[in-house]
Each structure stands twice: as structure tokens, then as C-alpha cells.
Amino acid sequence: MAVPEKRSCGADTAAAAAAEEEERLLMEEMTVLDFDMLCSTVAMQAHKGKWGKLNGVNNKEEEEEDNLDSDYDYGGGGVHRMWEGDLVYDFLQHRPIALQSTCCPCYRFGKNMRRAGFGSCLAQGFIYLVLALVALFSLVAFIVTRRCYFLYLCISFTVSAGLYLGYYRIQIRNKFNVKGGESSFDDCVYHLICPCCTISQESRTMEMNNVEDGIWHGRGDSAICIGSKPFINVSTKSPEFTTMQKITSNN
């Protein structure tokens, strides 16, 4: 009779050890969160007034508006995101991207559009190249000939390029719910004043957050995205219940 009791004790010990290991892995999976997604969710909740009771605010209209917003799919997991780094001061944060944005902005812009899901790299880069070359040649022609219509042509194509790039920056913000800029007019002005810095900021944001084919994957490949489809299927069973199941099955 002693042998079966020892075997039963050994099975119980193994089951308990397995349950502890599963619980440890579960806790590790739950702590692997996408940091920027978590922070943006907290910022969104605080901004919308979900913590109004803590701040002494009780506004039914804000709660109703919040409920309506919760049913709306932002296309970016229902969270607010931010651009990576400052527009000018963090221009050299990622040197390869900064170099490409300065020396070959058409290629960098086309690559951004391909990542964001707004067409092919070749087509978007070619359109930007045509606008930039026409503006440049018009400026050279004005310097040589001193004829005003070349200057007007240069200004019109420069503004067209800024509006074109600014339009797609607006589309990126709307698609991925990126917060930045007070209005859509600012996005166009950024591309007019400093297109290299603006393209570099967009590239950093997409590179660092693994944006591919119009899908924002986040910083970590194994992160749990709050408000979107999770990358890890976390078990919702209680560890104690799982332990009791294993002990019962072993017995």
C-alpha cells in the first residue's frame, strides 16, 4: 500500500509544479504589453473623462459621448498614438532614415506610402519626383531667363507637392489615429517648410512600430494590443481551477 501512496504523492507534486509553471508563464505573457499602446489607451481614457470621478467631474454628456466613441472603430485599435520623436530636434535620431530622407526623399516617401497601404512605392515616389523636378527646373529657368511665369510655375508646383504630401500625412494620422498637429493645415505646412524632417518623422514612426501593408503591429511582435486583436491568446482560466483539473485527471 505504500507504493501507490508514493506514486500518488509524486503525481500530485508534478501536477502542482506544472500548474506553477503555467501560472508563471501566464504572468509573463500578461506583462509583455505594447508600451506605447498601453500609454495611449490611458491617455485616451483620461482625455475622454473616464476618470471623472477621481477628478471630481460627473458629466453625463461626456459619458454618453464616450460610449458612442467606444463603438466606433478608429482603424488603429481604438487608441491614440503619437509620432516618433520631434519633427526637427529628433531628425538625426535614426541616421539611415535621416540620410535617405535628405538625399532621396522621393524613395523614402514612396516607401512610407507602401507601408501605410496607400499605393506602391514606385508610383508614389514617381509622382513626388515629377512635382519636385518641375518645381526645380522652373526655378532654374526663372534664374536664367528672369521671366515671371517660370517663378509662378515653380511656386505652384512647390505648393502642389506640399499639399500632396500633406494630404497623405493626414491620411496616415486618420488611419492609425496618430495625434500630432493642431489641424490638417499644419501637416501641409510641415511638408512645405521642411519636407525632409517630416518624411523622416513619418518613416521613424512606421519603422519603429512595424507598420506593414497598412497594419500597425506595434513595437513588440509578441505584444498584446489593447483594443485590437491580440497577438497572444492568453488563457482566461483561473490557475487554481486549472490545478484542480490536473490533479483530478492524474488521480
**Distance (Å, rounded) from C-alpha 26 to C-alpha 32?**
10
Least confident of 24-28, 167-171, 218-222, 229-233: 229-233
E strands, the chain, in order? 81-82, 178-179, 211-212, 215-216
Of residues 104 and 76, the one with the higher pLDDT is: 104
Per domain, the residue ranges of the chain are 82-251
Of residues 244 and 119, the one with the higher pLDDT is: 119
What percent of the chain has pLDDT above 70? 59
Question: Average pLDDT for residues 207-223, to the nearest whole number?
Answer: 78
The count of C-alpha atoms lying within 13 angstroms of the C-alpha of 222, restricted to the half-sphere facing its C-beta, is 6
pLDDT single digits (tens) 204-214? 999 989 899 88
